[in-house]
Amino acid sequence: MKKIDKNSKLPLYHQLVEVLQKDIEEGVYPENEKIPSERELCDMYDLSRMTVRQAIAEMRNMGLIYKVHGTGTFVSPKMSQDLSKFYSFTDEMKKLGKNPWSKVLDFRVVFAGKKIARKLKCDKGVEVYEIVRLRMADDTPMLYERTYVPVDRFHSLSKQEVEQTPLYDIFRDRYGVIFNKAEEVLKPVATRQDEAELLETSQLMPSMMIQRSTYEKDHIIEYTITIARGDLFEYKVVLE
């Protein structure tokens, strides 16, 4: 067990965070397993209750742990996403036994600016739906998304419909879309304050920005910018 260096310039609570984070990464404390109590951590590392509480609070802000009232503190699970095949957030969360749903923050028709027109490969000024959603798993906010789809392909799409039914289900069942591919660009980004508030995480925790273009034959029918919580998601690609 790594000791805390009380002569170090690094704050004691920060050292404890690093120790526990490393233990989590190395599997000493597996996902959804209980970590030692505040009192136990105080005894293990010869630290004050205040220092341990500060470390625990920081780890919760980082999304490393979660607290169950009256039971204890547990290691947060990671949502692993395989990028080598087409996927939807709704389907992936259901596989994990989660209840996926979307909170529609904004739904409106706008004229495509230069950037959106380029992403959708349409003319500038064409009408597109702009859909802003917070994607939830049970009661946990997971993704913040801004989606653009062409109005001429999806006439009469409504906010109420998007709130009640997964977007890809609407595309497939109501409009007869057959998806043939999607392209994604991933980039780690700093979490903005408004994003951190919506996702209930800390600005100190980086996020992953995912830009997705979804195709129906040779036509792009959806362009989405997603901010995924860096503390809850990990992405993998299988190379063969």
Is 5 a member of any domain? no
Q: What is the pTM of this model?
A: 0.70
Q: Could you report the per-residue pLDDT of 64-104, keeping only the tens digit for each?
A: 888 877 888 998 876 655 544 566 788 777 877 778 889 99
70 and 156, same domain (yes or no): no
65 and 84, same domain (yes or no): no
Q: Could you report the per-residue pLDDT of 172-199, keeping only the tens digit for each?
A: 999 999 988 899 999 999 999 999 999 9
Of 64, 202, 229, which is closest to residue 141 (Cα–Cα)? 229
Of 13, 34, 37, which is closest to residue 24 (Cα–Cα)? 34
48 and 161, same domain (yes or no): no
> Which among 55, 75, 95 is the end of a domain?
75
223 and 124, same domain (yes or no): yes
Of 90, 16, 103, which is closest to residue 53 (Cα–Cα)? 16
